[in-house]
């Protein structure tokens, strides 16, 4: 006896294992397989003939697949919350389905107001389920800000001359006096000039700085090196 089971409808993306049974016999499937079992992932009618050398038996089964929920159209969002909009609109698609987000919301569209991962379980009208996710990634517009005055008087306010900004990954800073003598150099983006040279505090004056820097791009790569020059005034 050969029994492949009743006609079956599955959700797209799943597989149905058909087993012709009868160990030790010969099998001829409609898809050309000669194995005892086959894995079905496409709709159609599948039949098998089993031959034990004396008798032949045959059975067939119809397999259909209902659509599973589609993936989100957009799954990664680079944004600067607080400077641009205060939220990111994440659309799970699949209108008419049931939604359950890891935020506790149950709508197709949510407004994500924080960076991180957002996960949603979707069950469509065919009772097919899928899990999807989207990531909100912090990426504020690249910028660099360079002061024109600082007061290195050890009062805890504006004591260090250091360029600051967003997405700076490499920075090389030089400071010179008005005659071109180098007073300071650093390739550490977190270390600035404290207004001293040779262990002595420099006098109130204008000094020249030169800066080479690179930004991190949206895709995580490092952009081209850029350079600027300008003046910084020391005041006490």
Q: Are residues 187 and 173 in the same domain?
A: yes
- Asked which of 16, 48, 66 is the last residue of a domain, the reply is 66
Domain count, the chain: 3
Q: Are residues 60 and 80 in the same domain?
A: no
> Does the residue 197 lie in any domain?
yes
CATH number for the domain that contains residue 230: 2.60.40
Q: What is the pLDDT of residue 84?
A: 62
Give residue 111's domain range. 76-138
- Asked which of 109, 138, 167 is the last residue of a domain, the reply is 138
Instruction: Please compute the mean of the pLDDT values over residues 99-116 and round it to a whole number.
Output: 97
pLDDT at 83 over 80: no
- Which residue, 167, 129, 142, is CA-closest to 14? 129
Q: Are residues 206 and 184 in the same domain?
A: yes
Q: What is the pLDDT of residue 236?
A: 80
> Does the residue 71 lie in any domain?
no
Q: Are residues 133 and 163 in the same domain?
A: no
> Does the residue 3 lie in any domain?
no
Tokens for 108, please give them.
């197709």
What burial class does residue 71 get, using C-beta atoms within 10 Å of its C-beta: 0-12 exposed, 13-18 middle, 19+ buried?
middle
Residue-wise DSSP of 145-181: E--SEE--SSSSSS-SB--EEESEEEEEEEEE-TTS-
- Asked which of 108, 138, 168 is the last residue of a domain, the reply is 138
- Asked whether 29 and 48 are in contact (CB, 8 A), the reply is yes
pLDDT at 48 over 90: yes
pLDDT over 70 percentage in the chain: 99
pLDDT confidence band for 220 (50 / 70 / 90): confident
Please give the Cα distance from 106 to 129 (Å, whole number): 15
CATH number for the domain that contains residue 17: 2.60.40.10
Instruction: Please compute the mean of the pLDDT values over residues 167-184 and round it to a whole number.
Output: 95
């Amino acid at each position: 006896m050969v029994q492949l089971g009743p006609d079956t409808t599955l959700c797209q993306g799943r597989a149905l294992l058909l087993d012709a049974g009868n160990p030790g016999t010969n099998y001829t499937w409609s898809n050309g397989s000669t194995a005892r079992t086959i894995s079905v992932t496409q709709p159609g009618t599948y039949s098998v003939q089993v031959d034990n050398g004396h008798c032949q038996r045959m059975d067939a089964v119809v397999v259909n697949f209902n659509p599973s929920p589609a993936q989100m159209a957009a799954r990664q969002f680079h944004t600067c919350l607080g400077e641009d909009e205060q939220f990111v609109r994440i659309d799970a698609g699949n209108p008419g389905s049931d939604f359950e987000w890891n935020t506790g919301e149950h709508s197709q569209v949510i407004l994500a107001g924080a960076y991180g991962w957002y996960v949603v379980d979707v069950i469509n009208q065919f009772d097919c389920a899928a899990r999807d996710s989207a990531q909100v990634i912090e990426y504020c517009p690249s910028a660099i800000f360079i002061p024109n005055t600082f007061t290195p008087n050890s009062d805890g306010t504006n004591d260090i001359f250091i360029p600051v900004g967003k997405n700076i990954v490499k920075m090389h800073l030089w400071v010179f006096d008005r005659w071109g003598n180098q007073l300071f150099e650093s390739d550490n983006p977190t270390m600035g000039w404290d207004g001293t040279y040779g262990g002595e505090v420099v006098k109130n004056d204008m000094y020249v700085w030169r800066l080479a820097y690179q930004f991190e791009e949206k895709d995580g790569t490092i952009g081209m090196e850029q350079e600027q020059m300008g003046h910084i005034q020391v005041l006490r």
